[in-house]
Homo-oligomer: A and B are copies of this chain.
Amino acid sequence: MRETTIYDVAKEAGVSIASVSNVINGKGKVSAKKREEIRAVMERLNYRPNVLASALMGKKTYTLGLLVPDVANPFFAEIARLVEDHAHQAGYSVIACSTDNKDERIERYIRLLKRKRVDGLMIGTGLGGSGALSQLKEKSVPLVMIARGSDLLPASSVLTDDRSGGAGAARHLLGLGHRRLAVLAENAKVTSSKDRVRGFREALAEAGLKLAEADILVCETSVADGERAAGELLRRPDRPTALFCCNDMLAAGALRAAKRLGIRVPGGLSVVGFDNTILAEVTDPALTTIAQPLDRIVGKALELLIGEPEAGGPERRRFVMEPELIVRESTAPPPDAIG
């Protein structure tokens, strides 16, 4: 049984396909009477316009691309879900792509998504080498950066105030009385991580403390590597009493390291994570962490991506949202604190 097409509807309603098309798109002039008739026929025949055909004519595909490092990572999985929901609500579906931060994958995916004529790209991953960048700069597809910024791209971005988040973590720890602090950072190419560290460091500076380079360890994004790095820090003679980790995975790793070394958290060590993923509620102790307002971020990003392309030229804008400190069980005053 063939799908019913616009021709079937036209024939059944005794009109031309042009008229049917017009009522579908609410364009052109169609008399109220005809319009209702056509509507009725469409209903009766359970007619659904073929997206492919109209896309071929240069209309929307109602498909969006989402680029993230890894949808299996709880943080990005959460994002993927939110994007899906917001997009779906607006009539779009989304193709999620995990880049693994590999240039080759990034470029392949961008090429693929362009060929599929997606109506927009939501980018939540680093872009690696210049290959992807130049593919994107051609402006052949609307772009928006999410939970990340980039000056190299002609795209608006909506993200968390990472610096403020880092500062919040620092103040929380400082307020508890910590003076020897260290951080587990992500790769230097991850700007959000850099900003978090910067905010953290600035807040320390305000309190008259200096964060030495040696107290910032760069990690791969994995629990295991967080454990490794934290282990390294915790074995130092003047080991820190508090750790700020640029994401919850690293924080979870830090927790494991502490446990292995027999250091109690938060008794002997405080740990702050970032992102407030599900991991934070599952570790023991549960993680104090910085929550990003993901729902709002995604909502705004989608609005920018599929909303009216701004009559006054597509200005590149940055929307920055405030993160929130979620205090759970992994932070407390330092062991040497005087009651």
Q: Which of B70, B111, B252 contacts A282 (CB 8 A)?
A: B252
The quantity of this chain's copies bound in the complex is: 2
Q: Which of B48, B73, B84, B256 is within 8 Å of A98, CB to CB?
A: B84
Per-residue interface assignment for chain A, residues 76 to 117, with 1 indicating a CB less than 8 Å from any chain B CB and 0 otherwise: 011011001100100001111110000000001101110111
B77 A93 Cβ-Cβ under 8 A: no
Please tell me if A55 contacts chain B, counting CB pairs below 8 Å. Answer: yes
A223: Cβ under 8 A from any B Cβ: yes
Q: In whole angstroms, how far apart are the Cα atoms of A56 and B55 in the complex?
A: 10
- A61 part of interface (Cβ distance < 8 Å): yes
Alpha-carbon distance A84/B72, docked complex (angstroms): 10
Q: Which of A51, A93, A98, A279 has the most CB of B within 10 A?
A: A93
* Shortest CB distance A124–B (Å): 14
Residue pair A80, B84 in contact (C-beta under 8 Å): no
Q: How many of chain A's residues have a CB under 8 angstroms from any CB in B?
A: 46
**A70 x B63 contact (CB < 8 A):** no
Interface residues of A in 253-269 (CB under 8 A from B): 255-256, 259
Say what secondary structure dominates the interface of chain A: helix
Residue contact B52 to A61, C-beta cutoff 8 Å: yes
- Chain B residue at minimal CB-CB distance from A282: B252
Rounded to whole angstroms, the CA-CA distance of A238 and B74 in the bound complex is: 37
Chain B residues with CB below 8 A from A112, complex form: 93
Chain B residues closer than 8 Å to A252, beta-carbon distance: 282
- Interface residue A283 (Cβ < 8 Å from any Cβ of B): yes
Q: How far is the CB of A221 from chain B (nearest CB, A)?
A: 12
Q: Determine whether the beta carbon of A278 is less than 8 Å from that of B116.
A: no
Task: Determine the chain B residues whose CB is within 8 A of the CB of A50 once the complex forms.
Answer: 56, 115, 117
Q: Give min CB distance, A254 to chain B, whole Å.
A: 11
Assuming A51-B116, A71-B84, is B96 touching A223 (CB within 8 A)? no
Q: Does A281 contact B (CB under 8 A)?
A: yes
A-B contacts, 24 listed (Cβ < 8 Å)? A48-B115, A50-B56, A51-B117, A56-B56, A71-B80, A71-B84, A71-B96, A72-B77, A72-B78, A72-B81, A73-B77, A77-B77, A80-B96, A81-B98, A84-B98, A93-B112, A93-B113, A94-B95, A252-B282, A279-B279, A282-B282, A282-B283, A283-B283, A284-B284
Known: A72-B278, A74-B278. 12 other contacts (CB 8 A): A52-B52, A53-B56, A63-B95, A71-B71, A71-B80, A84-B97, A95-B95, A223-B281, A256-B284, A278-B279, A282-B283, A284-B284
